């Protein structure tokens, strides 16, 4: 088991340490066994089912409606250290239903969350569009009233994780109550109502798709929150889950540090261990400092949210920005230290490099995180 001394930090309670041990035990036994990188759909289904059976998804779709961000972060860190697809499968069950957990009606929670918690229904979060990613105000997909009890959804979504295999979608559309971000509404749409326009292949395979909605009729009972509140719901959901992206990056970074140490202590160079080279020691030292700094930022943001801080956008953005950039640096150092082996397809360093790259883009690119942080600093003047 990897070093868990950070669990002694004051951010955590005994229940967090127990849950971390539970996730670690499950991951050691199952994460690698159930991960097939050339079958992302099948792996995601199998991993979600196994995590549901083990009870791990209880923190992603909690029955009491209380999302514990420290538990979410611990799960993502541990799972990412073992398997990027395991982390992905866990994270989407939470992100894909976060708006329902936080703002859905009791009826909708009873309809959607049990299957997600059991891992038998996969969840998706459909916000991005071909012309609206970081700029949520540019959403073009429309939601129009269809009588008193229904809405019609028309438009496209893209870069949707679990797109095409999810049974549950939280979808954001322009309902027109006001211009820009004030005229969006969130809806729950079952998977059999969603058409896949295109499956998208990416460097580190995971289920991803462009979706098409053509006159999809949605009952008003499947609306999440009030009309016009969609942007607020989306940002509140991301405020919870953004720090968990940093936690996943932290898990990848810890994996990279382990690979650095293993390579440095077993590889011989010029008649001595590679570790004896001062440049190697510098790379390992920098990685170790970066990992601890990322952990402190991630778990500070998670702890603040769990303490009831209304908005942790600044702290969550700092955690995501630093941890994802760190993971990229460590993955690059890991590939460099492995020489030719570092670029062999599906080798541990090469796989790590591909797995960490997307973290600096999704749920707010690094550039957007810098904007959020800078504006927060201005407001603190």
Backbone phi, psi, residue 99, to 5°: -65, -35
Is there a contact between 92 and 162 (Cβ–Cβ < 8 Å)?
yes
Q: Which of 169, 144, 147 is nearest to 155 (CA)?
A: 144
* pLDDT score recorded for residue 239: 87
Separation between Cα atoms, residue 226 and residue 104, nearest integer Å: 10
What is the distance, to the nearest Å, from the Cα of residue 216 to the centroid of all Cα atoms in its chain?
27
Distance CA 220, CA 356 (A): 39
**Rounded CA separation 125/169 (Å):** 6
Spell out the long-range contacts of 112-118 with Cβ–Cβ below 8 A and sequence spacing 24 or more. Answer: 112/168, 112/188, 113/61, 113/63, 115/167, 115/168, 116/57, 116/60, 116/61, 116/168, 117/52, 117/57, 117/58, 117/60, 117/61, 117/63, 117/93, 118/52, 118/53, 118/57
**Cα distance between residue 245 and residue 243, in whole Å:** 5
Q: Say if residues 4 and 56 touch (Cβ distance below 8 Å).
A: no
> What Rg, from alpha-carbon coordinates, does the chain have?
21
The Cα 25–Cα 12 span in angstroms is 19
Q: In this structure, what is the dihedral angle of CA atoms 217, 222, 226, 228, given to the nearest 10 degrees?
A: -40
Instruction: Collect all residues with Cβ–Cβ distance below 8 Å to 215 and sequence separation of at least 6.
Output: 152, 153, 154
Catalytic residues: 363
The whole-number pLDDT of residue 1 equals: 45
- pLDDT, one tens digit for every residue, the chain (381 residues): 467 789 999 999 999 999 999 999 999 999 999 999 889 999 999 999 999 999 999 999 999 999 999 999 999 999 999 999 999 999 999 999 999 999 999 999 999 999 999 999 999 999 999 988 778 888 999 999 998 899 999 999 999 999 999 999 999 999 989 888 899 999 999 999 999 999 999 998 899 999 999 999 999 999 999 999 999 999 999 889 999 999 999 999 999 999 999 999 998 888 788 888 899 999 999 999 999 999 999 999 999 999 999 889 999 999 999 999 999 999 999 999 999 999 999 999 999 999 999 999 988 899 999 999 999 999 988
Q: pTM for the whole thing?
A: 0.94
**What local confidence, expressed as pLDDT, does residue 328 receive?**
96
> Reduced to 3 states, what is the DSSP secondary structure of residue 284?
helix
> If you search the block for the tokens 């943001």, which residue do you land on?
301
Q: According to the model, what pLDDT value does residue 5 have?
A: 87
- pLDDT score recorded for residue 3: 72
Running DSSP on this structure, what letter comes out for residue 189? E
């Amino acid at each position: 088991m990897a070093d868990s001394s950070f669990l002694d930090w004051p951010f955590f309670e005994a229940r967090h340490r127990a849950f971390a041990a539970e996730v670690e035990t499950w991951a050691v036994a199952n994460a690698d066994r159930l991960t097939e990188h050339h079958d992302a759909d099948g792996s995601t289904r199998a991993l979600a089912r196994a995590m549901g059976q083990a009870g791990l998804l209880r923190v992603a779709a909690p029955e009491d409606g209380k999302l514990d961000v420290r538990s979410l972060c611990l799960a993502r860190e541990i799972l990412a250290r073992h398997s990027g697809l395991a982390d992905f499968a866990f994270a989407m069950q939470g992100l894909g239903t976060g708006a329902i957990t936080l703002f859905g009606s009791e009826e909708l929670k009873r309809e959607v969350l049990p299957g997600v918690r059991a891992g038998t229904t996969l969840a998706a979060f459909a916000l991005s569009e071909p012309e609206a990613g970081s700029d949520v105000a540019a959403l073009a997909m429309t939601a129009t009233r269809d009588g008193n009890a229904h809405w019609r959804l028309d438009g496209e979504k893209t870069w949707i994780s679990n797109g095409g295999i999810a049974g549950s979608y939280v979808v954001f559309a322009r309902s027109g109550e006001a211009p820009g971000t004030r005229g969006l509404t969130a809806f729950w749409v079952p998977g059999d109502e969603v058409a896949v326009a295109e499956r998208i292949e990416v460097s580190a395979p995971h289920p991803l798709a462009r979706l098409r909605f053509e006159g999809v009729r949605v009952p008003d009972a499947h609306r999440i929150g009030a009309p016009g509140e969609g942007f607020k719901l989306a940002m509140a959901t991301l405020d919870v889950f953004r720090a968990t992206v940093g936690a996943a990056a932290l898990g990848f970074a810890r994996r990279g540090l382990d690979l650095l140490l293993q390579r440095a202590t077993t590889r011989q160079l010029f008649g001595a261990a590679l570790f004896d080279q001062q440049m190697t020691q510098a790379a390992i030292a920098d990685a170790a400092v970066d990992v601890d700094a990322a952990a402190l930022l991630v778990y500070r943001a998670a702890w603040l949210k769990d303490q009831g801080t209304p908005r942790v956008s600044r702290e969550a953005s700092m955690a995501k920005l630093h941890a994802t950039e760190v993971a990229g640096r460590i993955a690059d150092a890991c590939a460099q230290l492995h020489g030719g082996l570092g670029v062999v397809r599906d080798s541990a360093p090469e796989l790590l490099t591909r797995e960490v790259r997307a973290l600096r883009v999704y749920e707010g690119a690094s550039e957007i995180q810098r904007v959020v942080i800078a504006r927060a600093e201005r407001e603190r003047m």
